[in-house]
Structure 1
């Protein structure tokens, strides 16, 4: 759950509610205001802000302030011209719909780039490089998206297996070798099946890479390495999982690419050599011609 959502839904005292209203209505002022100045504006005490921070599981006001400002900055950029849930209207023409989808996809890429950090990507890379086998756990469309990742990784001799048989996932989690690694994909980060799988893997010291939403969700807190997806969509009041799907595709492509780059020349030569042996497709456009 986002900090903004926690502030909007948690139960606060009357004095705390006054302060919370100010935080929600004036996030842009928080960076320059001291705790005493906020208390003065809300006719409360500085200790009120500390109590709010504690209720939201932060060590103190400074930690809450920093996290809230970072979240507000994220939510205030990229998706200013398009609604991730309803990117087009029933009155839009065919070309208007297509143009709006193009804006949506470009905004999603910019958004996901703003969320990624070098250290987390480096950690994920090492986990994948050190893994004898990589198993992907997810459900529905997310599992379909992961098939392309598995195909590409397997072609460069990195063993990736998808857990696709319903009811077998927990058995498969217990059978992941300790020198393996798991990728868990869940937009909400609260899918009970995925969380149980993560618990099993954690109990066996198998490292996990979680691809999930930002905010205070259970999966992001319990995994070994957290990679955030664009978090703009509601659970079901939307036309489609456009931004979620694009984010997952981008992140899996990113993971494949940074693993590929570790042995760039060797992997590229292998793909070319095997491609010459097995790819017999004809082409109609000269740009496809192989030398």
Structure 2
């Protein structure tokens, strides 16, 4: 749930409601206002701001203000020229549709990148790097992206699987322990089946890495680490879940590459060695052709210390 939605659904006194409406109207302009200035503008006591913050689950006005400004900046950035729900119209020609879809995907990546923070990404990378087993729990719509991620991780000798069978998720959660990491993927952060396994994962002391939309949700709150996907789509009145799928795929690719980078040269040598032994494909395209084996050895050794 977005903070704006939580504000709108919370019961406030008349004085508090007047203040809340002022904040929602001013949006990011409140960044330059002090507590005293906001209180004077709305004819309330300064302590009213603190009471509102407490009602919304924040320790004080500064924390609420910071969270509100961060959300407002996100909601009013990117996607200014394209609609995530209806990215093209019925009158658009084929190439126009193709151009708009390209713009949608580029904007989605930029939008998702803006939600990444160094320390959170570092924590997520370490959870996966140190896990002996990684299990992904998600809905059917996200299975394909998860399968690609799991395949690449297994090639790095990281045991990674997906809980794909409906009704078996609880049993698979019970099979994990404190050396495992569970990846929970849910756009709303309120997926019923995933929420059911949260107590099990907690009991098993399994590390939980979640990928959800922005805002407060059950799954994000119960996770050890949470990455946020682009949050622009309505639930169903849309052409397709393009931005959600693209954002999840991007985040999983980022996680794979950050784990890869922990042992960069070792992992690169391992992939090249497997390719030399098992990949029998051929191509007449110079772009696809592998260099001679002596050049591949140079690639392997190029990052080794002198």
For this structure pair, what is the TM-score category when the shorter chain's length is used for normalisation? Answer: over 0.9
Residue matched to 1:190: 190
In 2, the alpha carbon distance for the partners of 1:22 and 1:11 equals 16
Unpaired runs of 5+ residues, structure 2, are 292-306
> Alpha-carbon deviations, 1:192-231, whole Å to 9, x = none?
2111222211111110110111101111111011111111
Other-structure match for 1:23:
23
Please state whether the residue corresponding to 1:36 is helix, strand or coil: helix
Q: Does 1:200 align with 2:200?
A: yes
* Whole-angstrom distance in 1 between the partners of 2:134 and 2:96: 41
SS of alignment partner, residue 167 of structure 1? coil
Q: Partner of 1:248 in structure 2?
A: 248
Aligned to 2:6: 6
TM-score (normalised: structure 1): 0.96
Task: After TM superposition, give the deviation of residue 48 of structure 1 in Å.
Answer: 2.4
Aligned to 2:295: none
CA distance in 2, matches of 1:253, 1:189: 20
Q: Which residue of 1 aligns with 2:104?
A: 104
Matches of 1:243 and 1:190 in 2, distance apart? 19
- Work out whether 1:60 is the aligned partner of 2:60: yes
**CA deviation after TM superposition for structure 1 residue 12, in Å:** 2.2
SS at structure 2 position matched to 1:183: strand
Tell me by how many angstroms 1:259 deviates.
1.0
TM-score computed with the length of structure 2 as normaliser? 0.92
Which runs of no fewer than 5 residues in structure 1 stay unpaired?
none
**DSSP-derived class of the 1:223 partner:** coil
For residues 7 and 152 of structure 2, the distance between their equivalents in structure 1, rounded to whole angstroms, comes to 43
Distance in 2 of aligned mates of 1:266 and 1:118: 24
* CA positional deviation for 1:40: 1.9
Contact 2:53–2:59 at 8 Å: present in 1 too? yes
Runs of 4+ in structure 1 over 3 Å off:
none
Structure 2 residue 46 is matched with structure 1 residue 46? yes
Is structure 2 residue 156 aligned with structure 1 residue 156? yes
Which residue does 2:302 correspond to in 1? none
Q: Compute the displacement of 1:177 (Å).
A: 3.1
Query: 2:8 and 2:93 mapped to 1: Cα distance?
Result: 37
The equivalent of 1:120 in structure 2 is 120
Aligned residue pairs total 291
Q: Distance in 1 between matches of 2:233 and 2:246?
A: 12
Question: What residue number does 1:72 align with?
Answer: 72
Which range moved further: 38-47 or 195-204?
38-47
Cα pair 1:7 1:24 within 8 Å, conserved: no
Task: Report the equivalent of 2:132.
Answer: 132
CA distance in 2, matches of 1:20, 1:93: 45
